Amino acid sequence: MRLIKEISQMKDYRKKIKAPQTVGLVPTMGAFHEGHLCLIRKARQQCDKVVVSVFVNPIQFGKGDDYQRYPRNLSEDIELSEKEGVDVVFAPSLEEMYPQDYSTFVQVGGPLSSTLEGASRYGHFKGVATVLIKLFNIIKPDFSYFGEKDYQQVLIVKKVVDELNLDTQIIVLPTIREKDGLAVSSRNSYLNKEERKAATVLYEALKRAKLWIKEGERNPFSIVSKMKDLIRKEPMAKIDYVAVVNLETLEKVEDIRGEVLIALAVKIGKTRLIDNSLLVAGCSYLQKKEKRI
């Protein structure tokens, strides 16, 4: 396995791989967990060469966000990558990606990027789109792997790839969870013991929402209100948003029919966590018929 830190070297490596050989990219901010490893394993199964990028992208963090304290653990990420049969870990420095006079950004317009995470984290998706376009241009992956945990990110990436006519195919994998349902996340490492326990309230709320819908509740306002009541019972939790939205447009739905996404962002102490659940209303086996993008 190679560790590459320079863009020019990464490009040289890529140039030597010719079709029909394929390249898969797993873009990450490092501090690997099982969610990252599942993406890497899928890429390993599907592609001839697997590149994992590790870069904590400052421009997707807002003021007061956790950029400085975001967990960084490159040596362990390298070890894990090696174990999983990754071909290249691409870990550029900040200066390599954004030199002093850097000034080009990808602005994602439209309602997809202004709702949910876009509304709460101003400029977040501009940062995400910019770094991903840079990575796609440097690595030219045939396939790129993303987690459903960041559902809105996936929709936006797909739109950007489509609208900017890029050639990479976006592959999306389901959210990996801890035994108690908490979605695994690099940010879970911020949680102390009590907060970790309190954090299960996100999954609990999603699970209960599914149950209410299964039992026949079709009013999204009632679902959101009951979810908020449940979350508020946890003293450490502070709700940012809870929403029942259309799977493709992320607009709030008036009525729960067919496929919907339930998304939420909740602060547990100082740690902001997100989660979501995709479901199909009106199916008798809601759990089994969960939709995947």
Nearest residue to 237 (alpha-carbon basis) of 267, 217, 209, 214? 267
Segment near ligand AMP (CB under 6 A); pick from 29-37, 61-69, 244-252, 276-284: 29-37
Question: Which three-class secondary structure state does DSSP give residue 27?
Answer: strand
**Residue 33 contacts by C-beta under 8 Å, 6 or more apart in sequence?**
176, 184, 185, 186, 188
Which phi and psi angles does 51 have, rounded to 5°? -110, 130
28: contact with ligand AMP by CB under 6 A: yes
Site for ligand AMP in 31-50 (CB under 6 A): 35-36, 39
Q: For the chain, how are helix, strand and coil distributed in percent, rounded to 5? A: 40, 20, 40
Q: Write out the binding residues for ligand AMP, residues 129-158 only, by CB under 6 A.
A: 146-147, 149-150
Q: Is 33 a catalytic residue?
A: no
Residue of 33, 36, 124, 187 marked catalytic: 36
Lay out the sheet containing 237-246: strands in order across.
237-246, 259-268, 271-280
Q: Which is nearer to ligand AMP, 29 or 209 (CB)?
A: 29
CB nearer to ligand AMP: give 18 or 292: 292
- Closer by beta carbon to ligand AMP, 147 or else 220: 147
The residue (of 184 and 266) whose beta carbon lies closer to ligand AMP is: 184
- Site mask, ligand AMP, residues 184-223, x = CB under 6 A? xxx-------------------------------------
Cα–Cα separations (whole angstroms), residue 105 to 26, 122, 152, 162, 200: 21, 14, 19, 17, 36
- For β-strands 23-28 and 259-268, DSSP reports them as unpaired
Query: Which among 171, 169, 178, 221 is positioned nearest to 196, based on CA atoms?
Result: 178
Nearer to ligand AMP, 135 or 209 (CB): 135
Q: Total number of residues binding ligand AMP (CB under 6 A)? A: 16
CB 7 within 8 A of CB 98: no
State the residue number with the nearest CB to ligand AMP: 147
Report in angstroms how near the CB of residue 271 gets to ligand AMP at its nearest: 13
Residues 6 or more apart in contact with residue 232 via CB below 8 angstroms: 239
Contacts (CB under 6 A) with ligand AMP, residues 154-183: 173, 175-176, 183
Among all residues, which ones are annotated catalytic? 36
Chain residues that interact with ligand AMP, rule: CB under 6 A = 28-29, 35-36, 39, 146-147, 149-150, 173, 175-176, 183-186
